[in-house]
Amino acid sequence: MMINLIYVAFGGAVGAVLRYVTGLGVLRLAGGGFPLAIITVNILGSFLMGLLVVMAAKRGFDHLNPLILTGVLGGFTTFSAFSLETVTLIEKGQNMAALAYVLISVIGSILALALGVWLARGVWA
């Protein structure tokens, strides 16, 4: 258990650095008018999650999931985990649950952020 926590912490640090560097690279190439850096990280991280989750299972490297999937990809973008959970629900034939998961996650997260901004502006204005 403790070694998995160390793997997740180390992988998360690596993933966060990779997200930051990728974001800087995209900003330098494309500019900053549209959140292209975040879109790039989310799509790339989701692609890598799909690729690596299958490769790990096929090759017997599931023991590295805390380091690679949860740690590195989780630090790179949590959107990859969101994408994996959505596809897993769809593959299980739970299409309505997948739709609900997507809608609740996206709308709920945006509303929660807006509420946090509203509260912070009211309290610390």
Distance, in Å, from the CA atom of 35 to the CA atom of 25, rounded to the nearest integer, reads 13
Distance, in Å, from the CA atom of 99 to the CA atom of 16, rounded to the nearest integer, reads 29
**Intra-chain end-to-end CA distance of the chain, in Å:** 44
What local confidence, expressed as pLDDT, does residue 2 receive? 94
pLDDT along the chain (125 residues), means of 10: 95 97 94 88 94 93 94 93 94 98 96 93 78
What local confidence, expressed as pLDDT, does residue 23 receive? 92
Helix (H) or strand (E) holding 6: helix 2-30
What local confidence, expressed as pLDDT, does residue 48 receive? 95
Give, in degrees to the nearest 5, the angle at Cα 44 between 93 and 52.
Answer: 60
What residue numbers does the annotated binding site cover? 74, 77
Domain boundaries, the chain: 1-124
What local confidence, expressed as pLDDT, does residue 125 receive? 61
What local confidence, expressed as pLDDT, does residue 33 receive? 82
Copy the structure tokens of residue 32. Answer: 């900053």
What local confidence, expressed as pLDDT, does residue 24 receive? 95
DSSP for residue 31: -
Of 14, 44, 73, 18, which is closest to residue 65 (Cα–Cα)? Answer: 73
What residue numbers does the annotated binding site for Na(+) cover? 74, 77
